[in-house]
Amino acid sequence: MSIPVASLEPIPTCYATVSIGTPDTPLDQKLEAIAGAGFQGIEFGFPDLLSFASKRRNEQVQPQDFDTLCDVGREVQQLVEKNGLKVVMLQPFSNFEGWEQGSAGRDDAFRRAKGWIRIMQAVGTDMLQVGSTDSPHALGSLDYLASDLGQLADLLAPHKFRLAYENWCWATHAPLWKDVWEIVRKVDRPNVGLCLDTYQTAGGEWADPTTDSGLIEREGGKEALQRQFQTSLEIMARTIPKEKIYILQISDAYKPRTPLDPNPDKDGLRPRARWSSCLRPIPFDGGYLPVVEVTQAVLKTGFRGWFSMEVFDGGPDGSDQDWKDLKGYAKKAMASHNRLLQEAADS
């Protein structure tokens, strides 16, 4: 399928609130910067809700104080609308699926799900991002994972809410786009689709932050890796129906200056999770992933829905930045979005 540049003009633009400033940055400043750069919507990050609620209540609001979070969430909705924006998605809902029957983890997962559904109602969004579980306790059967997600979809359905399932490239059982697509097919619900991500796709199948080259090293070298990755993208382009893609998240990655330790850190974070947390810039700003190629594969499905900047940019050394110019960074992100569309088009 060709990608005419004219077909890309209607693509709506989104920016994740966790991707500009820090959780302590006032939410109104984040929204003003995002709206001022021309973005139309936001992914609303749960850390920003917690921060906003704690400031409003002058105390530390807990993640499962859903009454308070919903009260404050309604204020968030008004603030978002004041800035001419839309809450496209609430994120990131993690470690939901795969808990053993009768376990405390499973009880907690469903309790959180019901609370987050209330928050979705409060902030005015119809989409919940669910990242593929990275819990070491998750059971590995794809059928079992799909059953859990089907139950979550059924909780969302009466509200006409959707579930956007994303492969996290460090996940325990579903790190690749093919894995989450297989699970979504098994779930087989009209309100369950995919949250695809340029970083998660290329970071899981093409790049490796633990090697000197920054690439997955296998027999046949870089040429074999490139052929295998290109084949994966071709399969994506011809097998995923466009209506099953709910959103495409955009980011690149810096090549670590020193290869990351392949072992989990003291907090249990695997290397790709550590890489994700602070070394993900906007495209064309120092990263090295094949972001354009992933974007082209998604566009070749016919998808023309939300493109969302979800970056975690701590600079090339991952030490964070001062965030003195939120508006300037947001405008740079919009320029990156526009360039990405131009480079992804083939006619």
Render 35-90 in DSSP notation, one character per residue.
Answer: HHTT--EEEEEHHHHHHHHHHHHTS---TT-HHHHHHHHHHHHHHHHHTT-EEEEE
The per-residue pLDDT for range 66-124, each reduced to its tens digit, is: 999 999 999 999 999 999 999 999 999 999 999 999 999 999 999 999 999 999 999 99
Q: Per residue in 294-315, pLDDT tens? A: 999 999 999 999 999 999 999 9
Residues 6+ apart with CB under 8 A from 171: 131, 132, 133, 134, 179
Total length of the chain = 347
Alpha helices in 83-216 (DSSP H): 104-123, 142-156, 177-187, 198-205
Band (pLDDT 50/70/90 cuts) for residue 347 is: confident
User: To which residue do tokens 């490139």 refer?
Assistant: 226
pTM of the model: 0.96
The gap between the terminal CA atoms of the chain, to the nearest Å, is 11
Pairing state of beta strands 13-16 and 306-309?
parallel
Q: Which pair of structure tokens corresponds to residue 65?
A: 């104080």
User: Model confidence over 325-335: pLDDT tens digits?
Assistant: 999 999 999 99
Beta bridge partners of 299: none
Those residues whose C-beta lies under 8 Å from the C-beta of residue 347, and which sit 6 or more positions away, are: 2, 3, 4, 5
DSSP string, 277-340: HHEE--TTSS--S-HHHHHHHHHTTT--SEEEE--EE-TTTT-------HHHHHHHHHHHHHHH
Question: How high does pLDDT run on average in the chain?
Answer: 96
179 — alpha (psi -120 to 50), left (phi > 0) or beta? alpha
d(CA 265, CA 275): 12
| pLDDT value for 218 | 86
Say yes or no to pLDDT of 320 above 80.
no
Q: What is the DSSP letter of 95?
A: S
Is the pLDDT reported for residue 229 higher than 80? yes
Residue type, 314: G
CA-nearest of 284, 266, 287 to 276 is 287
Q: pLDDT for 153-188, tens place per residue?
A: 999 999 999 999 999 999 999 999 999 999 999 999
Which residues face 196 on adjacent strands? Answer: 248
Q: Which helix (H) or strand (E) holds 236?
A: helix 221-239
